[in-house]
Structure 1
Amino acid sequence: MSRHKRKAAASSEDEDEVECWTASYLPVASGEKRQRRWSSQPNAQVRPRIERALSQRLYLLEKEDLGAEERLFRVLGSTGNAYDVRISRSPSCSCPDAQKGNLCKHQIFVMVRVLKCDRDAPIVHQRALLGVELKSLFHRFDQRRWQPPEVNEATKQAYLEATGRSPRKPGDSKVKVQPDDDNSGECSICFEDIGGAALVRCEVQCRKALHQACFDQWARVAANLTCPNCRAPWPSRGTSQVDSSGVATLEGYLNFAAPQGLSTVRDTSTYADFHDYPRYHHRSSYRRRYRETLPI
């Protein structure tokens, strides 16, 4: 190959690789058209989501290659729900926040914690990506020297069982029924015999039966609802259940809070809106009172 051809080939390879993960990155000039307008700075709705993505306990559950310009990352959310994050020309997530049209913390988590983009890189908060950017991100990820924050082995096994991919011996059941399933013994709350009363059972971990009335009192005073016996997070009532195969669900999603050691109670301490800040109300009320004292 001649020197000019080698130079042209090297130049072509360089064009196929852009350092879009850096904070100084600017869109490349190419024949591609971005499906959404480029945003140079994250807006007021995105900035707190970036903070949540970096401060809350989020984990990578699984990754799947869907092509040169698309990858699927299954992410374990802060309450243990499993969400599908697709990094493609139009990034998306299956979580409720993204379904409302927002750029969610799970997408940002994948971009920053998994794909290792700089948190200040403009690519992190873009609603649309170019093919050259996707190829560069995925190539760098495939050659990575870092370990993404992944779920523990117990959660991996629970996920494989929930999706029917865990190797099992013939005759094994998905749920190992404990001796406590015979509804005998004492209630872990009142320490009296559990027979002859309405019962509720820990369906996440120990499967211990408890008096329904005792548990209702326990639930009313508990800050973070857990099983009184094994201390596993107790799924919130009305939104959670354990299906017939023993797979825990929350808000319609597979939930792995118990094996990962997460609480199913959502932490909303970082969800305050700017207009909820006392300082804002203080200043607004001060201005209002001041205007009321002015002569008409």
Structure 2
Amino acid sequence: MGSSDVPQVRNQNPIAPASEFRIPQRASMAAPRSRVGGTPQHPIDLTGDSTSTLSRKRKAGESSKSPIAPLKRTKAETAKLMPEKRLLRFRSIPPSKFHTVYARALSQRFFVLGRARRGSEDCPEEIVEMTGSTGNIYTVVIAQIPSCDCPHAKKGNQCKHLFYVLKQVLNAPYEMVYQAAFLSSELRDIFAAAPPISTSKQAETEKRKPIEGDCPICFSELEAKGSEIVVWCRAACGQNMHEECFNIWARTKQGDTTCPMCRSVWKDGEDSVKKVRREEGHSEEGYVNVGAQLGLRSLRDESSYHRSGWWGQDV
């Protein structure tokens, strides 16, 4: 057999040349896709703010973090923000001695000689001048702490004059009558619902008003068919009032007799009214007493007083 007849065996794993080997490369992160026209190094600003605007915003943000000095409030502004405090404790029920004195305030007759409003719009007050049961003239002040200058009140008690003014004159709610102190809001409510204080302006009508409601002097009910005589202002306002009350009013005033409501010169019965000046009244315990001029008894009726103790003068 010749050499040509021997089959040639091919190399199954030939060694490839070095140029054919490929060295694997490290996998790299794909570059982030950028918006059209932008690159990762130079992104497009879609806010529309310029560099100067951003700088200003940054400065503004920094300045907002700086401490701001608080605004100083005045005492009045601070007081309005603070809830008002009652000067004395609120009474949820009347004191034990209230009912006895309150009964006298409603059963006895007093005469109001004058009313005057004072104080401020936020915290109003009213001064009421009135006669006691024996003719002494007392002054009641309805304020944040109501007061009266009668001997009973000066001893630290709530007197019948105070109860009379609150209930009969001002028509205050019952739960307000026995309070020792008021809030300014309560005073505003009381005076807003109270009968108006008479002014010097003359009424426009000369027609007599219906006999109804309360007498403007004693604040007791008027009765058309009652035993008490009712007179009225013929000069201007036509207001009705008890004749006895009007006579007492006229005796305590100086000069011409006038209507207690409109202050017009009284046209009816002025000749029969006895004029008695206040300064002609004698003084008792520091008070002007017009009891003799008004026909009031100088002795006090103590039938409703507690026998276990003295309640004070003219209570």
The TM-score, its normalising length taken from structure 2, stands at 0.48
Matches within 5 A, 1:1-296: 31-67=83-119, 68=121, 69-118=124-173, 121-142=174-195, 146-150=214-218, 152-161=245-254, 166=255, 246-273=280-307
Q: Which shifted more, 129-138 or 259-268? A: 259-268
CA contact (8 A) 2:217 2:245 kept: no
Q: Cα RMSD over matched residues? A: 2.9
Partners of 2:145 and 2:309 in 1: how far apart? 31
Q: What is the letter of the counterpart of residue 165 of structure 2?
A: V
Query: Secondary structure at 1:80's aligned position in 2?
Result: coil
Question: What residue is the counterpart of 2:240 in the other structure?
Answer: none
CA contact (8 A) 1:89 1:130 kept: yes
The change in CA–CA distance for 1:53 and 1:142 in structure 2 (over 3 A counts) is closer
Q: CA deviation at 1:122?
A: 1.5
Aligned residue pairs total 168
The change in CA–CA distance for 1:88 and 1:265 in structure 2 (over 3 A counts) is same
The TM-score, its normalising length taken from structure 1, stands at 0.51
Q: What is the letter of the counterpart of residue 298 of structure 2?
A: T
Which segments of 5 or more consecutive residues in structure 2 lack a partner in the other structure? 1-81, 198-212, 219-243, 258-273, 311-315
Per-residue CA distance 1:236-262 (angstroms, 9 max, x = gap): xxxxxx99x532333321122234321
Q: CA deviation at 1:91?
A: 0.2
CA contact (8 A) 2:171 2:193 kept: no
Partners of 2:297 and 2:196 in 1: how far apart? 34
Question: What residue is the counterpart of 1:220 in the other structure?
Answer: none
CA contact (8 A) 2:140 2:147 kept: yes
Structure number with the bigger relative contact order (C-alpha 8 A, sep ≥ 6) is 1
CA contact (8 A) 2:145 2:181 kept: yes
The change in CA–CA distance for 1:275 and 1:66 in structure 2 (over 3 A counts) is closer
Which segments of 5 or more consecutive residues in structure 1 lack a partner in the other structure? 1-29, 169-204, 206-241, 277-296
